Chain A
Amino acid sequence: MATPRAKRDPILPAWRTALYALALMAVDAGVVAAQDQPATAEPLFRVDRINALIAILVFGTAVTLYTRWAKQGKPLYIRKLAGLDAIEEAVGRATEMGKPVLFIPGLQELDEIETIAGVSILGRVARITAQYETPLIVPVRYPLVLAAGQEVVEQAYREMGRSDAYNKDTVRYVAGDQMAFAATVNGMLMREKPAANIYMGAFFAESLVIAETGNAAGSIQIAGTARPEQLPFFIAACDYTLMGEELYAASAYLSHEPMLLGGLKGQDLFKILLVLVIIVGIVLMMFGAADTFLSWFTIT
């Protein structure tokens, strides 16, 4: 047996020691042959994905058109979302009771679309708390969400002419671990007894742990997430729940900003197109002539 040899590994820092074991294993000749093949270059344009390009163009055009109309001041209707109307009521109740509002923008990083939606709604909620001079508590799990949260809350207070009331500790980093975060928020809920708890973003196993504690603390609770596996828990433990896409519609509904309204109306038009396309596909399928049509929607 060969004697072990010490060698510096450039990947490891100098203060680390690692023991590597090498073993000769039987390998599949086919696999080796496949690995020996020269790598083929990725084509600049994937013709097989042209269906996705067409979908993006249709969607983009719809959003652009609606945004333009919204900017021109054309009235664009959005139906009532019960949970969102309740936000202002909940903040009002907190103001009357002299208690804070707790807002959690989910437990995911800033590179999740749900977190971005949550942070966007946080901006609207912060405007209301700034207006009513109600304390706001925003526990977060990730440093980037902390930075984004502080940014939007500070901006909301500035826009409402209440820069003096803005406290940098409003948005606070709690813990990086999911359950440590849940344990700390549970403590906050029982000790600070917020009058209103708003949960908007991506939630996981901690959803019921937090929402049930908030319920026990006697707070009004409004939740919104696009995670289907967590929605049942929010529906069970919260007073109002925004389901799936309602979370994304919320910021447009609350702000009525042309950019957000345009996005929401563009999505609605796209949904109607999807419904029509599916109906056409089903009719063609019933007559046994859907093969070519279906091939347009095949993904690679």
Chain B
Amino acid sequence: MSGWEVFQIWLGAFLTVAIFSFMYKDNPLYKAAEHIFAGITAGYYVALYLDTVVYQQLWVPVTHNGRVWLIIPGILGIFMFGRLWPKLTWLARFGLAFIMGTTAGVFLASELHGNVLGQMSGTMQIQQVAGQPNYVLTALVVIGLLATLIYFYFSKPHTGVLGVTASVGIWFIMVSFGAHFGYTVMGRVSLLIGRVYFLYNDWIGTMR
């Protein structure tokens, strides 16, 4: 192992331990690691956006591929710098309005088409388990979907029949959250194992 590689491992181990030290309390080591992390990523993302967006997605298509219309989003991007001068702040609103408007429009169509219709069609079917129709699962899917939808109905207070249905809905939601919780915790434990493995094998390994 070269000296440079050993230095990289020691630096990685130092930063890992510095970040883990936050579990005890906020301290200068953590503060140093936090600032290094934030500073490096800020610089990295400036370079990344310059290369992948400004150069590859604007400059090259306009100058080499003749896609001149890309100058329009480029101008909207330049308008964002208007925020640096109080008199030109209004220019930045064009870009923001364009993004927020198109996002709402695109999501409306894609969510209705991709999710709502798909979910409806999937619910109105006999559910299969190992190729066999399963009526219990079908009933669970239908009751779960309808009760959950009713929970997210905001136009009436959750009392009476609506309240009971919404309570059934929240039970289904909580069961789903429990499953997500367990699944994600497993993922986090595996990340911790990865870090401990790095410290034990790679870092302590350099001292053997």
**B-contacting residues of A (Cβ < 8 Å)?**
10-11, 13, 49, 51-52, 55-56, 59, 76-81, 110-113, 116, 143-144, 147-148, 150-151, 173-177, 179-181, 183-184, 186-187, 190-191, 205, 228-229, 231-233, 235-236, 243-246, 249, 253, 264-265, 268-269, 271-272, 274-275, 277-279, 281-282, 285, 290, 293-294, 297-299
CA distance A10 to B61 in the complex (A): 11
Kindly provide the distance from the CB of B79 to the nearest chain A CB, expressed in whole angstroms.
10
Bound-complex Cα distance A268 to B162 (A): 14
Chain A residues with CB below 8 A from B60, complex form: 10-11
> What is the CB-to-nearest-CB distance from A115 to chain B, in angstroms, rounded to a whole number?
9
Q: Are B124 and A56 in contact (CB under 8 A)?
A: no
Known: A233-B181, A278-B124. A184 touches B156 (CB 8 A): no
Interface segment, one of B1-9, B101-109, B200-208: B101-109
For residue B38, which residues in chain A have a CB less than 8 angstroms away from its CB? 174-175, 180-181, 183-184
Smallest Cβ distance from A103 to chain B, in angstroms?
18
Bound CA–CA A264/B109 (angstroms) = 17
Contacts of B45 in A (CB 8 A): 176-177
Chain A residues with CB under 8 A of B113? 49, 51-52, 55, 299
Question: In the complex the two chains form, what is the Cα distance from A293 to B124 in whole Å?
Answer: 10
**Is the pair A271, B93 in contact by a Cβ cutoff of 8 Å?**
no
- The secondary-structure label for the interface of chain B is helix
Q: List 6 A-B contacts (CB under 8 A).
A: A175-B38, A180-B38, A183-B37, A228-B180, A253-B154, A294-B125
Contact for B42 among A175, A179, A205, CB less than 8 A: A175
B residues apposed to A, CB below 8 Å? 19, 22, 25-26, 30-31, 33-34, 37-38, 40-42, 44-45, 55-56, 60, 64, 80, 83, 92-93, 95-96, 99-100, 102-104, 107-109, 112-114, 116-118, 120-121, 123-126, 142, 145-146, 149-150, 152-158, 173, 176-178, 180-181, 183-184, 188
Contacts of B178 in A (CB 8 A): 232
Cross-chain contact A232 with B177 (CB below 8 angstroms): yes
Q: Is the CB of B80 within 8 A of A111?
A: no
Residues of A within 8 A of B154 (CB): 78-79, 81, 249, 253, 264, 268
A233 CB contacts on chain B under 8 angstroms: 181, 184
Q: Which residue of B lies closest to A267 (CB)?
A: B154
CB distance B156 to A77 under 8 Å? yes
**Beta-carbon nearest neighbor of B124 in chain A:** A281
Chain B residues contacting A81 (CB-CB under 8 Å) are 154
Tally the A-B contacts, defined by beta carbons under 8 Å: 176
Please tell me which one of the listed residues A176, A293, A297 contacts residue B117 in the complex, with CB atoms under 8 A apart: A297
Residues in A neighbouring B123, C-beta threshold 8 A: 278, 281-282
**B residues less than 8 Å from A177 (CB atoms):** 37, 41, 44-45
B114 and A299 contacting across the interface, CB-CB below 8 Å:
yes
A79 contacts across to B, CB distance below 8 A: 154-158
A47 to B: closest C-beta gap in Å: 14
Task: Indicate which residue in A49, A56, A173, A278 contacts B108 across the interface (CB closer than 8 Å).
Answer: A56
**Cα(A190)–Cα(B109), bound, Å:** 43
CA A55 – CA B112 in complex, angstroms?
7
Shortest Cβ distance from A123 into chain B, in angstroms?
A: 13
Query: Distance in Å from the Cβ of A298 to the closest Cβ of chain B?
Result: 6
- B residues less than 8 Å from A228 (CB atoms): 176-177, 180
Measured between beta carbons, the chain A residues less than 8 angstroms from B109 are 52, 56
Q: Assess whether B121 is in contact with A297, with CB atoms less than 8 Å apart.
A: yes
In the complex, what residues of A have CB within 8 A of residue B107's CB? 113
> In the complex the two chains form, what is the Cα distance from A180 to B42 in whole Å?
9
Specify which chain A residues have a CB less than 8 angstroms from the CB of B102 in the assembled complex.
Answer: 111
